Amino acid sequence: MTKRREVAKAPAPLEEYCEHFDPLFNRSNQRESFRQYLEGLLLPSERNKTLTGLVNTEPVVGAQLPRAQKLQWFLSESEWDEQAVQAQRLRLLREEKTTAPNGQGVLVIDETGDRKAGRHPGSCWAAISG
């Protein structure tokens, strides 16, 4: 069997989490893009969580940069099993004492809860989606 190529490590706690998913990705660029994607989602940012925002580049122009193109390929063209990734994510949540369902309740993550605010038509009032 061919030895897996090493990928750039994410910050320690995130890297530990990502390592649980490594067997689900066949290529090193998939594993690296998965880390980049999660970092972009989790790190605080003033910008929206768009493709260019996730890789910290400028909208439109930055979309042509290699790091944005690599993430775009990972999300839209790369072959990996989304259901296996979701199953692994849920398994990890259930195994961790602080996030596992128990008699006191369950942790629910609503990914649609982006706060919206603005002063221009279409976004004049603060709103919560989801």
The separation between CA 100 and the C-alpha centre of its own chain, rounded to angstroms, equals 21
In a domain, 127, yes or no: no
pLDDT per residue, tens digit, the chain (130 aa), is: 567 777 777 778 889 999 999 999 999 999 999 998 898 888 777 766 777 777 777 666 777 778 888 888 998 899 999 999 999 999 999 998 888 888 888 877 766 655 555 555 554 444 444 4
Residues 6+ apart with CB under 8 A from 119: none
In a domain, 86, yes or no: yes
The boundaries of the domain holding residue 40 are 12-100
In a domain, 77, yes or no: yes
Rounded CA-CA distance 85/75 in Å is 13
In this prediction the pTM is 0.70
In a domain, 120, yes or no: no
**Helix (H), strand (E), coil (C) string for 75-126:** HHCCCCCHHHHHHHHHHHHHHCCCCCCECCECCCCCCCCCEECCCCCCCCCC
Number of domains in the chain: 1
In a domain, 3, yes or no: no
